[in-house]
Amino acid sequence: MKVLGVIPARFAATRFPGKPLTLIAGKPMIAWVIEGAKQSRKIEEILVATDDQRIAEVAEKSGVRAVMTASELPSGSDRVWAAIADLDCDVAVNIQGDEPLLSGGLLDELVTPFQVDPSLDMATLGRELREGDLSSQTTAKIVLNNRNEAIYFSRFAIPYSRVDAPQAGGICLKHIGLYAYKKSFLAKFCSHGPTPLELAEGLEQLRALYLGARIRVIQVEHDSWGVDTPDDVKKIEQLMRLKR
């Protein structure tokens, strides 16, 4: 099974233009992401899909191939597909370009389900809910079935909207937004275009469920430390110091 990892890195992010190039501990954020992704043992090649030559230059200096993609692509998944459409692979991993603390081992967790069950369409990650997660509308939640596959994703308090939330007990997890896709399903996903359900919730993974995808959810201990605003840079640098 051939696995490619793609880091979508768009320059003109609405909330934080130029985010992939912002310096964290003296190094561009995209370089930190590449460094973590290259630790993966199951991804054969890492690519950076970008619309900006400066990001491409950092990628190539970091030892990976850059693929130029159109600025107007609507999502990271579309950027991943644009990068791999003409390449030979079975599975593509969508590696968030704004998580500089990412580890290769975490990416390997995403790939493993496809080695066990090649019929899967997608895989993603989740962690146990903590205090405040359920009510937070900035936190996406996943409800699971008995095969650890996603039934639904929402930023709202699911599935406990009518009662005080008990311990989730594996029924509901916090979503960590890393994905792996079977290449054939990613083609179907991107060719379909946004659905009313995903637009209503603002979650593109609901398109996959709408299309009937089986999405395996792997429970991990890792939390998501993304960079959404310039203020997040200091938080990441502090976490880096603590990890050292």
pTM: 0.92
Q: What is the pLDDT of residues 57-116, one digit of tens each?
A: 999 999 999 999 998 888 889 999 999 999 999 999 999 988 999 999 999 999 999 999
Across the range 209-237, mean pLDDT stands at 89
CATH, residue 55: 3.90.550.10
Query: Exposed/middle/buried for 68, CB within 10 Å: 0-12, 13-18, 19+?
Result: middle
Q: Which domain holds residue 80?
A: 3-243
Report the alpha-carbon distance of residue 16 to residue 43 in Å, rounded: 29
Report the domain count for the chain: 1
Asked if residue 166 has pLDDT above 60, the reply is no
pLDDT of residue 152: 97
Residues in Cβ contact with 220 at an 8 Å cutoff, skipping those fewer than 6 apart:
106, 109, 125, 126, 127, 176
- Assign 191 to helix, strand or coil: helix
Determine which of 16-30, 166-180, 193-207 has the lowest per-residue pLDDT on average. 166-180
Question: Looking at the DSSP assignment, which residues form a beta bridge with residue 235?
Answer: none
- Assign 33 to helix, strand or coil: helix
